[in-house]
Structure 1
Amino acid sequence: MKKIISNSKTAVITFCVGVSALLWLLAGSPAPAGAADEVIKIKAASPVHVVAHRLTKDSYQLFGDEIEKRTNGKVKFTWFFGDSLVKPAQSYEALKSGVVDVCVVAAYNYPHLFPVTEGLSMPFAVQGAAHAADVAWKMYQTMPELQAEMKDIKFLGLFGSDVINMAAMNGRVIKTLDDMKNLRVAVGSGLVAEMAKLMGMAAQPLGYQEVYMALHRGMAEATLFPNAPLRSFKITEVTNTHTIGNFKVEPILLAMRLDTWKKLPPDVQKVFDELTPSWARLSGHTLTNEGTWVMEELKKRGDQFYTPPPEEAAKWKQAIMPMYEAWIKKLNDKGLKGQEIYERMQKISAETKVSDTPEDEWWKQGRIGKRTEQ
């Protein structure tokens, strides 16, 4: 009996010591998942933009910093630029599979997934990057068909590349459709290649990152390339003439993985929602501003510029009409009202003016793509 009592006392003492130790360890341990003071780590990637691109600092990093600020440090972004983590042609898959939480998706590489969004990439549909961002937001707000395309992700915004023009080598100025006939052009996407072929060019579809080497090695004589990244992609090193056709933009999607979104606390979700149209608009304005000063610098350098007269531009627009016809048919084949969607997009584009949506205050912490020493 005495032995039993002794063992009981020992057991009680051991239990108390164990509980005390456990409580001490818990007090000094990190907060469990979901606790108020836990830092939410967001892994983000922009595979379509190299580190030197203005969007990396002027938009993406600034957006991450603003999210951190508005959540009082509850959210922390880590960005991966270029193909350091994700390849441009795999951006959507990387997002869906959880390789990243937030991704800048090259929507122009996924016309089969985003057929309504593809309308933004039609030639002469929008005026440039900033205009595309405003048009895209109005389309998203008013078109259930566009909203339906985003059902598998958390939509954070949609904008366009800077407007695409032609840059050529060796002082050659391209002025007419006759000049374009069989011209070897390096292009960054299949949609640009399709447009180029309809205008008579011999298009070589590459990734945008490969265009410089194609020109440098003499594989191409010219490129159809957005204004803003001509400098950061080194296209300015191998070209010296520019045909200003304001041909088109490439749609770029800002998205979060749906599983990541669902795990965020409501107050954090609210911050992302508040910045959704603004982030895309910042990206668009950044590209438009950068494109403006890049072209000004090239003029100062002595590059030649050519803008077609209205009668020639009309011929170019007529040449690419089969792209619109094919797009409308594609929408019809998917059970959508292609002609109606086309007309609504055209109406929104015509009614939208960039001047109606001024710069947001938080953008002014950065350069917004403008020419500065920062």
Structure 2
Amino acid sequence: MSNRNSLRTLAALVAVASLTLAGCGGARGGDSAGGSADGEETFTLKFSHVTTDTTPKGAAALWFEEELEKRTDGRIDVEVYSNSSLYGDKDEMQAIQQNSVQMLAPASAKFTTVAPALQVLDLPFLFDGPEDIPTVAAPDTEVGKAIFANPDLEAKKMKVLGLWDSGMKQIHSNNLTEKPEDMKGKKYRIQPSDVLKSQIEAWGGHAEAIAFAEVYSALQQGVIDGGENTYSNIESQKMHTVQSNIAESNHGYIGYILVVNTDFFDSLPTDLQDTLVEVAEEASTYNRDNVTSINDASKKAIEEEGSTEINVWTDEQRQAFKDVVVPSLYEEYRELIGSEIIDELLANQG
């Protein structure tokens, strides 16, 4: 049931209007559990996210929907709500804790107040490129343990099923950004993370936490001067159409923590739990296998449109930005993120 576009707007309006009632619902989600043709109990899983269907997260969500429904013979009915059509940045974390939505894949920055250690993924220059992610964030590393075995998430009724990639972040603005001084005094949109705020301020800019769905209008109206995001998010939200420059900096990473509400998960029969976990793991692989090609296609689309200049940083330019925040920013957040994690990361920096 991956093509519900004609119904999603209406469904989203109904769901938002009934948030309070849905929050009081049972463990099987917003809809009551029903029965399949052969009498087996069925379950509805609502999966909400803020990006479009064409982004790495959007594509993986649709793959997950199709595969889980197929492998459970329809016993789990997945409803994917993309592009903030059901819940947005401001209310999705509350919604999953209330079981008003059963699955999310928020950026790690969205967990700032829920699980502070996840801000490790917001640290600048954590990875040099996407190929480093599986090694640095493997489940048996200190970084991986902060993601996959995080007690704060479990306490908030969230079970981690995977780490999805959006890719490496670039800096978009209306001025050429080649050195930290070019950011001085300008306003940049960030996700709600103390680490990201400190990063922008270290480079001389002013950080503004703005919901993803509101970034385009904030850029268009001049509320902010720029921001940082992956090529797919920049292109799919048309941010580049109101920005004259993109600095290909690869200075940071956007990772999505795939979580399911624990009340919903625990309500499933054991065989459906096992299938859900299995499909989520394969969806993570699907996401990572496609993230580079999707970002490359978005970059090409921006270039072909011709209104935005892309400036690829040299190694020397990237190092100048890195020297400002590494290791100082890592040390600033040592206590919050955890000394073991910071020690491991600094050792990897060489």
Kindly tell me: are residues 346 and 325 of structure 1, through their superposed partners in 2, closer, same or farther at Cα, counting changes over 3 Å?
closer
Q: Is the 8 A contact 2:170 2:246 kept in 1?
A: yes
> Whole-Å Cα distance in 2 between the matches of residues 204 and 141 of structure 1?
30
1:2-151 correspondence runs (5 A):
37-46=40-49, 48-50=50-52, 53=55, 55-56=57-58, 58-127=59-128, 131-132=132-133, 135-139=136-140, 144-146=145-147, 147-149=149-151, 150-151=153-154
Matched ranges for 1:263-274 at <5 A: 263-274=267-278
Matched, 1:250 2:284: no
Deviation of 1:235 after TM superposition, in Å, equals 0.7
Establish whether residue 183 from structure 1 lines up as the match of residue 186 from structure 2. yes
Q: 2:332 aligns with which of 320, 326, 329?
A: 326
Assess, with a 3 A threshold, how the Cα gap between structure 1 residues 218 and 68 changes in structure 2: closer, same or farther: same
Letter in 2 for 1:81: S
Q: Give the percent of matched residue pairs that are identical in Structure 1 and Structure 2.
A: 19
Q: In structure 1, what is the equivalent of residue 21 of structure 2?
A: none
- Give the aligned residue type for 1:329: E
TM-score of the pair, normalised by structure 2: 0.78
Picking from 167, 174, 179, the partner of 2:172 is 167
Distance 2:146 2:190 in 1: 29
Please state whether the residue corresponding to 1:162 is helix, strand or coil.
strand
- Indicate conservation of the 8 Å contact 1:130/1:284, yes or no: no
Q: What letter matches 1:318 in structure 2? A: D
Partner SS state of residue 250, structure 2: coil
Distance in 2 separating the partners of 1:112 and 1:158: 19
How many residues are treated as equivalent by the alignment? 310
Partner Cα separation in structure 2 for residue 218 and residue 51 of structure 1: 27
In structure 2, relative to structure 1, the CA distance for the partners of 1:264 and 1:127 (3 Å cut) is: farther
Counterpart residue number, 1:240:
244
> For 2:283 and 2:145, how far apart are their aligned partners in 1?
22
Q: For each residue in 1:10-41, what CA deviation from the matched residue of structure 2 results, as whole angstroms up to 9, or x when unmatched? A: xxxxxxxxxxxxxxxxxxxx9879x8622222
The structure 1 residue matched to 2:217, chosen from 213, 218, 242, is 213
Q: Could you list the runs of 5+ residues in structure 2 that have no partner in the other structure?
A: 1-32
Shift of 1:106: 3.5
Secondary structure of 1:89's counterpart equals coil
> Over the residues paired in the alignment, what is the CA RMSD in angstroms?
2.9
Q: CA 1:128–1:45 in 2, change beyond 3 Å: closer, same or farther?
A: farther
- The letter for the 2-side match of 1:175 is E
Please state how far the C-alpha of 1:349 moved relative to its aligned partner. 9.2
Change (3 A) 1:204 1:115: closer
Q: Is the 8 A contact 1:71 1:268 kept in 2?
A: yes
Q: TM-score, normalised by structure 1?
A: 0.73
* SS of structure 2 residue aligned to 1:116: helix
Alignment partners' CA distance in 2, 1:89 and 1:52: 22
Residue 256 of structure 1 and its aligned partner are, at CA, apart by 0.9
Distance in 2 between the 1:108 and 1:215 partners? 21
Name which of structure 1's ranges 176-185 and 132-141 shifts more when overlaid on structure 2.
Answer: 132-141
Q: Does 1:295 align with 2:299?
A: yes
**Does the C-alpha gap of structure 1 residues 277 and 209 become closer, same or farther in structure 2, counting only changes over 3 Å?**
same
What do the CA deviations read for 1:139-161 (whole angstroms, capped 9, x no partner)? 57985554033434222112343
Q: How much has 1:269 moved relative to structure 2?
A: 1.3
- Residue 201 of structure 2 corresponds to 197
5+ unaligned residues in a row in structure 1: which ranges? Answer: 1-29, 332-337, 351-374
8 Å contact from structure 1 (residues 186, 204) kept in 2: yes
Given that residues 159 and 260 in structure 2 are in contact (C-alpha distance below 8 angstroms), is that contact kept between their aligned partners in structure 1? Answer: yes
**1:229 Cα deviation from its structure 2 partner:** 1.3
Identify the match of residue 163 of structure 2 among 151, 154, 158.
Answer: 158
Secondary structure of residue in 1 paired with 2:258: strand
Q: Which residue of 1 aligns with 2:341?
A: 341
Distance in structure 2 (CA, Å) of the matches to 1:39 and 1:187 = 40
Q: Which moved more, 1:127-136 or 1:100-109?
A: 127-136
**Higher radius of gyration, 1 or 2:** 1
The CA distance in 2 between the partners of 1:83 and 1:262, in whole Å, is 27
Instruction: Tell me which residue corresponds to 1:335.
Output: none
